[in-house]
A and B are shown apart, each in its own frame.
Chain A
Amino acid sequence: MFTPHTDADREAMLRAIGIDHLADLFKVVPAKHRFPDLALPPAETEMEAVAELQNLAWANESARDLACFLGAGAYNHYVPAAVDAVLRRGEFLTAYTPYQPELSQGTLQAIFEYQSLVAALTGMDVSNASHYDGATAVAEAVNMAYANFRGKRAKIVLSPALHPQYRQTVRTYSTDSPLQLVGDGPESDLNAGPEALLPLIDGETALVVVQYPDFFGRVYDYTSLAEAAHAAGALLCVAINPMALGMLKTPGQMGADIVTGEGQPLGIPMSFGGPYLGLFATRKEFVRKMAGRLVGESIDNRGQLAYVLTLTAREQHIRREKATSNICSNQGLMALGSAVYMSLLGKNGLRQVAELNYHKAHHAAARIHDLPKYSLWSGAPFFNEFVIQCPLPVAEINDLLLEHDILGGYDLSQDYPALTHHMLVAVTEMNSHEEIETLVEALREVSNG
């Protein structure tokens, strides 16, 4: 199968090593634990394995089978065929980390271009080669801000409208650190906009983190928040949905110091939660504080333009315990996929798909708002996701929607006890007019009990 050794090969190799039996290579392993009997299912051929996996995949009802109105950090978007065609090239797929620039100019230039595209999209000066996902990118932003002030500022203000799983991840990362995380306690006013965070920002604050559009889909201009953070000497991090930036003002224009984001909407399949893409960009004055891999332009000893990993002295393999992060990979393939996606769509295509999301979501929101017993929770501008107040618990509604082959929105009561009967609905370019009408009719039917 995947090991090419013939009996003759083994014999010859053992002879060259100077031993008689394969088992002699493992004498150093404690005898009582050597060669355990592993209770694993018997080996299958490729044909059988594919059949087994196919059966498991069929046991799912995916967004191919259901009309998907679920978002909350992962979105059902169209992935152009050309994206996967590039990812499947073995030269990208099976290459190692580009530590040897002479043999990795393809990966290096692709990352360099990815950095350029992300910087352009976010309105920031520099992007790294990516973090694991949207959640860990925020955790890295927190660590970066803390390190930036050399531990002298330990307060981090988290918007309660930052994705709950991102906030949980930040909490896990900071369990054993002196960081103080504030702003998202149970008492926080969820209806309030970013101005509710202003009183929390002070001389102890290292970073303020908000989401754009926020977890509830709302779009706010964070310019005055950035000004307030800067006035207190703190930094502002904006966690983005990159597709929204196809039409919306950039966090760079608002004065953000760090932009993180979940890059999944840029041509990456939902794939039950991963692998996704942690976007991370910052201003040039913080480039050396940013963790993660970076590619720079240079020349080779033949005078040609060439790319190479740079600022590696910040990273874990050199700084060891003094590094601000232990990250030593990036989401290489996902970053490549998003770069192909952005190249294909380009300036007009990304705006077009963003607006398509916008119009469909607004149409759906208006139709649902018109239903008796349903209403839009917020009057703030939104992009492709919005909260509706429902007459019943969301879990009950979703059970009934499933009977209509509809994957309903996210039940906010799971994370926000105050938001019982509140559903977060996402509408993308994948949802046809007909699907929206089916949703509206199903919601009407559900409320009539």
Chain B
Amino acid sequence: MGEPQLCDLSVPGRQGIRFPQPDVPLSDLPPAGLLRDELPLPEMSELEVIRHYTRLSQLNYSIDTGYYPLGSCTMKYNPKVNEETVRLPGFAYAHPLQPVETVQGSLVLLYNLQEWLKEIGGFAGITLQPAAGAHGELTGVLIIRAYHRSRGDHKRDKILIPDSAHGTNPATSAMSGLRVVELKSDARGNVDLEALKLECDDTLAGLMLTNPNTLGLFDENVEEVIRMVHQAGGLVYGDGANMNALLGIVRPGDLGIDVLHYNLHKTFSTPHGGGGPGSGPVGVAENLVDFLPGPIVDVIDMGDEETPPLYGLVQPPKSIGRVKAFHGHFGMAVRAYTYLVMHGAQGLRQIAEMAVLNANYLLSRLRDTYHLPYDRVCMHEFVLEGRWPEVPDVHALDIAKRLMDYKFHPPTNYFPLIVHEALMIEPTETESKETLDTFADAMLKIAEEAHTNPQLLKDAPHNTPVGRVDEVKAAKELVLCCGVSALDRE
């Protein structure tokens, strides 16, 4: 029995919350032609609403209820204190357009976060405006384009994207009018230097580099790669989705990366919320600071012995413009700030060290049973093949689904595309050795089942609220609203 839909729970006459009667004289309503006839929303009591959503929540898997080894998603624990600080009334009830004198607390917080993210990544400037990683990517690529344009360098329209990069990179580049050229990886999972050399010409706008890449491998030639792109006049965009491996280990800016987006919802513990909101601050090197989206937070009056400095909002001189309304996802900034003040430099390095230790430990438990296509010390994640030649009918998908029966969320599968039947595993630093061992045991048991009883995997999951869902039916019938099909082909 599933949970009924809202529209089926509605009973005319119920209402979950009431508002006071007007304490002002009533005015005439607008002309009838401007009013709506009906408002087809559900009618429910508060308890029915709460029970409905509580029961829905119980159909979900979550970090709070179990282990999520999702590669590239960094499903670490989201500290509860973040949820307290973000709700402090001074933050939660502040309007984004208030005079800056009345929101110094918010502005100091944003300013400090900007400074810390600059320090962590080795950058000269930062914007907190982008709403998510993909949005940060778009911001970064627009900055790269603006930089070349400002130099009168108009023919640079080519962007190089390694085949091990995140899927968003090509879509982002196309949105900003760039021509995408895919770069092959070499046999060790690094950017292929020979292939790169061939593309280094005067049309090169830049390279989008994920390092560590989606194989979980730190590029062994990273400095050479960056040097070659710079020599050709291009810039290097760093995809910071995998920053969890680098905190206090190395600063991307020190390696020569010109632009990088962070994911506050991965590295800095803000919750994923079932798909968002994210937050994708972008850090840039000195020569790109003027192009950042505005406004950014800065000290606008130094003050003196009597008065503290005044923080305000400033527009960088050659700004690419806004990428969204207001100042970015402030609520995510508060959570990330809370997380950062609780760690300090040593704490951050420990995050990366334990994330990498966990990944290599888990790899050591699985590598004899699952094929490891790129055999190197991994960083925060690694990629295995979910297939065995002797049982050709068993696929990565079946392993993923069977893991659910062991009460684990499956790893990312079928990505990166350069590994057949990929299973991409990122343990994160917040998991204990016992959890990793239980997960490894389940993975080994499933490998055994794949050989002895493959049908068990093909039919999995068995113990979840629903089984495998018919995606073809969903896409063909297109029922996207309660009781209505969007598909009536006129």
Contact = CB atoms under 8 A, between A and B. Distances in A.
Interface in B71-112: 73, 75-79, 81, 83-99, 102-106, 108-109
A308 B79 CA distance: 29
Contact of B60 (A5, A107, A246, A300): A107
Nearest to B348: A38
Contact of A345 (B41, B76, B108, B354): B41
Interface in A1-43: 1-5, 9-10, 12-14, 16-18, 22, 25-30, 33-43
A402 B466 CA distance: 56
Contacts of A91: 57-58, 60, 62, 64-65
B27 A308 contact: no
Interface string B320-363: 11111111111110100110111111111111011011101101
B250 interface: yes
A74 B335 CA distance: 21
A188 interface: no
B173 interface: yes
B277 A329 contact: yes
A104 interface: yes
A98 interface: yes
Contacts of A350: 39, 41
A58 B90 contact: yes
Nearest to B22: A359
Given A95-B62, A352-B19, A247 B105 contact: no
Interface string A335-348: 01001101111111
Contacts of B328: 273-274
Given A56-B109, A310-B471, A360 B88 contact: no
A23 to B, nearest CB: 9
B24 A248 contact: no
Contact of A407 (B42, B95, B109): B95
B172 A271 contact: no
A120 interface: yes
Contacts of A299: 469-470, 473
Contacts of A360: 22, 24
B16 A82 contact: yes
A294 B56 contact: no
A407 to B, nearest CB: 6
Nearest to A284: B486
A359 B24 contact: yes
Given A40-B119, A103-B61, A299-B473, 9 more contacts: A48-B341, A88-B83, A92-B57, A116-B5, A168-B322, A330-B275, A331-B276, A356-B22, A359-B24
A269 B365 CA distance: 46
Interface string B1-36: 011011100100011111110111111011101111
Given A3-B350, A329-B276, A28 B377 contact: yes
A92 B35 contact: no
Interface string A67-103: 0101011101010101011101111111111101111
Task: Name B's interface SS.
Answer: loop
Most chain B C-beta atoms within 10 Å of own C-beta, residue among A59, A173, A245:
A59
B465 A302 contact: no
A92 B46 CA distance: 19
B22 to A, nearest CB: 5
A421 interface: no
Interface stretch (A152-160, A191-199, A202-210, A320-328): A320-328
Contacts of A115: 480-481
- 7 closest residue pairs by CB, A with B: A273-B326, A90-B64, A57-B90, A273-B96, A59-B105, A43-B344, A344-B16
A4 B171 CA distance: 39
B479 interface: yes
Nearest to A245: B36
B170 A93 contact: no
A126 B60 contact: no
Contacts of B277: 132, 274-275, 329, 331-334
B145 interface: yes
Contacts of A64: 89-90, 93
Contacts of B95: 62-63, 68, 70, 74, 76, 270, 272, 407
8 contacts: A96-B70, A100-B404, A246-B39, A271-B91, A317-B168, A328-B133, A344-B46, A432-B23
A184 interface: no
Most chain B C-beta atoms within 10 Å of own C-beta, residue among A70, A302, A326:
A326
A42 B19 contact: no
A110 B326 contact: no
B275 A107 contact: yes
A197 B187 CA distance: 59
A49 B85 CA distance: 9
Contacts of A55: 105
Interface string B161-194: 0000001101111111110100000000000000
A175 B320 contact: yes
A216 interface: no
Nearest to B122: A36
Contacts of B249: 26, 29, 34-35
B330 A272 contact: yes
Interface in B402-434: 404, 409-410, 429-433
A310 B479 CA distance: 10
B120 interface: yes
Interface in A111-136: 111-113, 115-117, 119-121, 123, 125-127, 129-130, 132-136
Given A30-B255, A322-B174, A329-B132, A93 B83 contact: yes
B159 to A, nearest CB: 10
Interface size class of A (residues with CB under 8 A): 35 or more
A349 B248 contact: no
A265 B93 CA distance: 13
Nearest to B146: A175
A369 interface: no
Contact of B329 (A22, A104, A274): A274
Given A49-B342, A93-B78, A285 B90 contact: no
Interface string B204-228: 0000000000000010101100000
A117 B468 CA distance: 27
Given A89-B54, A248-B30, A298-B470, A176 B145 contact: yes
A165 B469 contact: no
Nearest to B479: A297
Interface string B456-490: 00010100111111110111011111101011101
Contact of A82 (B17, B29, B87): B17
A301 B63 contact: no
Given A308-B471, A310-B478, A326-B171, A163 B325 contact: yes
A63 B94 contact: yes
A91 B65 CA distance: 7
B325 A134 contact: yes
A308 to B, nearest CB: 4
Contacts of A247: 29, 35-36
Contacts of A107: 56, 60, 274-275
Given A117-B6, A299-B469, A429-B19, A381 B357 contact: no
A349 B18 contact: yes
A101 B469 contact: yes
Contacts of B83: 88, 93
Given A39-B119, A177-B177, A304-B2, A410 B97 contact: yes
B168 A274 contact: no
A293 interface: yes
B481 A126 contact: yes
A176 B464 contact: no
Nearest to A101: B469
Contact of B137 (A27, A172, A313, A326): A326
A438 interface: no
B442 interface: no
Contacts of A280: none
Nearest to A411: B97
Interface in B362-376: 363-365, 376
A378 B272 CA distance: 44
